[in-house]
């Protein structure tokens, strides 16, 4: 079946640098996407979401870009801090009822080097 | 900030035994979910619950699983006869208006079946 996948399992960046985490999705019908951060021993924490009628959405230090043409989603984190070290998941949802589940990618481990 | 609370944080059980994982969703939320994450793998959707009944369930959610909202605050996941492969982190989540508005996840219950 269709699935969400991540290009890089591990990404290491210097503190203060910007980081970009990528996600490829294969279900062209998906209309809602979310980025989650998961720290060790904790549940996924919502970072930012985007709907398919948008190309870009910005939050505090984070930006999500959606390219529906190539079915690609990215998360940009500006001026990375040690607290940004975590596993980042993208998730997608097909159109439908509000009770439908999300399909998660495998995750990218972001490591912030001092 | 409101939280989704899960108990216990870690449960060890013998194969074949029944377990009940407990969750207290955020009080004004209407949609409730269970997800699981086998170590090193993706977060996987199990089931969603709305208006006191199951709305959607995945292939993983077979007859060994059941969910219940026994009162106005708790949301439980029961595994009737645990198998070794049920060992995973189980996450509860809730949303106020459905999956298109992001989720709040709990910190999870680590289930170990021995």
Residue A2 confidence (pLDDT) above 70 = no
Which residue of chain B has the CA closest to A100? B56
Cα A70 to Cα B86: distance, rounded to the nearest angstrom:
36
Q: What distance lies between CA B8 and its chain's CA centroid?
A: 12
Question: In chain B, what residues touch A107 (CB-CB under 8 Å)?
Answer: 42
pLDDT at A107 exceeding the cut of 70: yes
Q: pLDDT (tens digit, 9 = 90+) per residue, A40-86?
A: 888 899 999 999 999 999 999 999 999 999 999 999 999 999 999 99
Could you give the CA distance from residue B37 to residue B80 in angstroms, rounded to a whole number?
19
pLDDT at A100 over 80: no
Q: Say if residue B25 is preceded by a cis peptide, omega within 30 of 0.
A: no
Q: Do A99 and B31 touch (CB under 8 A)?
A: yes
A29 near B CB under 8 A: no
Q: Tell me what pLDDT residue A1 has.
A: 36
Query: Which residues of chain B are modeled with pLDDT < 70?
Result: 99-100, 102
Q: How far B60 CA sits from the closest chain A CA (Å)?
A: 12
Q: Nearest CA to B31 among B45, B13, B49?
A: B49
Mean pLDDT of chain A: 89
d(CA B56, CA A103): 13
Q: Identify the structural domains of chain B with CATH numbers, from first to last.
A: 5-113 (2.60.40.10)
Give the CATH fold of the A4-96+104-113 domain.
Immunoglobulin-like (2.60.40)
pLDDT, position A4: 55
Chain A residue with minimum CA distance to B56? A100
Question: Using a CB-CB distance cutoff of 8 angstroms, which residues of chain A are in contact with residue B31?
Answer: 98-99
Mutation for testing the B interface, residue in A43, A93, A107, A108 having most B CBs under 10 Å: A43
Query: B24 vs B58, B73, B105, B112, CA distance in Å?
Result: 22, 6, 11, 21
pLDDT at residue B34 in the model: 97
């Amino acid at each position: 079946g269709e699935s969400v996948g991540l290009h890089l399992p591990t990404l290491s960046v210097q503190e203060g640098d910007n980081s970009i985490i990528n996600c490829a999705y294969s279900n062209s019908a998906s209309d809602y996407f979310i980025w989650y951060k998961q720290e060790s021993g904790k549940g996924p924490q919502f970072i930012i979401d985007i709907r398919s009628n948008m190309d870009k959405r910005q939050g505090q230090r984070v930006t999500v870009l959606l390219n529906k043409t190539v079915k690609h989603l990215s998360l940009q984190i500006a001026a990375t801090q040690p607290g940004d070290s975590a596993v980042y998941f993208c998730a997608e949802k097909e159109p439908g009822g509000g009770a439908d589940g999300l399909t998660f990618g495998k995750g990218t481990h972001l490591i912030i080097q001092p | 900030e409101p939280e989704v609370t899960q108990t216990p944080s870690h449960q060890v059980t013998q194969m074949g035994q029944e377990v009940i994982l407990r969750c207290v969703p955020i009080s004004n939320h209407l949609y409730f979910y269970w997800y699981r994450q086998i170590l090193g793998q993706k977060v996987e959707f199990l089931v969603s619950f709305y208006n006191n009944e199951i709305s959607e369930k995945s292939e993983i959610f077979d007859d060994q699983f059941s969910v219940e909202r026994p009162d106005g605050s708790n949301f439980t996941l029961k595994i009737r006869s645990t198998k070794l492969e049920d060992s995973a982190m189980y996450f509860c989540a809730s949303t106020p208006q459905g999956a298109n508005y992001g989720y709040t996840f709990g910190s999870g219950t680590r289930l170990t079946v021995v």
